[in-house]
Structure 1
């Protein structure tokens, strides 16, 4: 069995993507989609994300379409689905392939537990910006990603260190946007991508967590609210 990038490369090739074509991918997230485009011999074109879902922004993708564009790869990010209806409209309008990527099929019970945990955190957390879920979609919370408001990365990283010192396991979901990795480096400024890379922090929301463990996360986060300027 190949890697996820191998599988996406195969799908790109089977859909008609050829060497020299351009394929639109998000700059925020893992590099797998961009790797697959390179494996297919095509050129990844990095565009910005939607500020709420962290998925590829349909308007930004539409603006990036050229005569060389063969496909768009909307990536479902952190468990939030990309807006496939809008991307399918884009594909029909510009005659480009649309290939969704990143959906993970998991047991319904596990997803339900994470959703319940996320709802608890949504209602209790203060001083961080909790996830925004688009109307009519189901977020599976593969990661529960909050924004730490402040003046950029030092505030988020200081907050993360303080949480870890209190026994809360957390991590930065995307350290470096894909377009700034050495293999893909582009001279681009993608405002929402850069802001997400500076502000986002993934908190634990595992299905196995107890209410006591969730409350520990809440207590630790809320106790640190004074380190940050108001989220308002």
Structure 2
């Protein structure tokens, strides 16, 4: 497959004749950027995480420029790497969302809002922890809470009902399988509890949100742990390891 990938990459590069190639890591970009460099095509790579993947570690030796989202990543790259700190791209909707307007649109009052989610598919560990927190929030009424439980968390609404909390009737609790209005929710939130994916953390930083991060242990090179630690070391977040 490696030889085939290299031939295919070279064919595409010859046909397309790019002025610049940009690689974002992962095995798919490896052959393309490697062959582009060999063909003399200016090539740059972008590393989104605090711990670079193997592909970017290898390509950083020859790439014209290595763009970093987190300065901590540089120590894992080749000493020959020409690095520049660029951050990760953040959607304009995230940056432009107005906090006051978002809170009005969501029907919130002056109490703090907790926003929690575990990704599009959900995360069982986070859902189990949020089950306890949601029950507490509904009882003491100190907080408002929006939680996205994901595809794998469809058991949660029924589990809460069995413990005496009907999410549909709780005035300070909102449960969603998928949060489709994330810019609005993030603008309105006071505390975010979530995984530590690269883009999620960039959005949290762009909005200046306090966060409790629970890195997924099931990712390549345990990169979410390193992402979270990059913020923890700067006192920008708290982290709870999933064990």
Give TM-score, length-normalised by structure 2.
0.28
Higher strand share: 2
Structure possessing the higher relative contact order (Cα contacts under 8 Å, 6 or more residues apart): 1
**TM-score by structure 1 length?**
0.29
